Amino acid sequence: MIENYLTVLWRQGALAGAKPEHAFYVACGLNQTMTAQDILEGKLIVEIGMAAVRPAEFIVLRFSHKMQES
């Protein structure tokens, strides 16, 4: 869902880059942003990088969410 949203932003000109992979990235998963222990503890960690048109720097956001325990 995040990649789809960022692709729309890129098509609208909000992100710099000739291709979507030059404009942003989304990382989420085991051995990317989470360890096995994170998963066992119910943590969801997503990292998003974006090449915003202004300012001209790459922005990295890292989100962490503790999943509901049952």
| pLDDT per residue as tens digits for the range 24-63 | 999 999 999 999 999 999 999 999 999 988 766 778 888 8
C-alpha pair distances (Å), 13 with each of 34, 48, 50, 51, 58: 31, 18, 12, 11, 15
Q: Residues near 69 by Cβ (< 8 Å), separated by ≥ 6?
A: 42
pTM (predicted TM-score): 0.79
pLDDT band at 70 (very low <50, low <70, confident <90, very high): low
Residue 28: its pLDDT value, please?
95
Q: At CA 60, angle to CA 46 and CA 11, rounded to 5?
A: 90
**Distance between CA atoms of 51 and 32, rounded to whole angstroms?**
20
Domains in the chain (CATH in brackets) are 2-66 (3.30.360)
Backbone angles phi and psi of 3, in degrees to 5: -60, -40
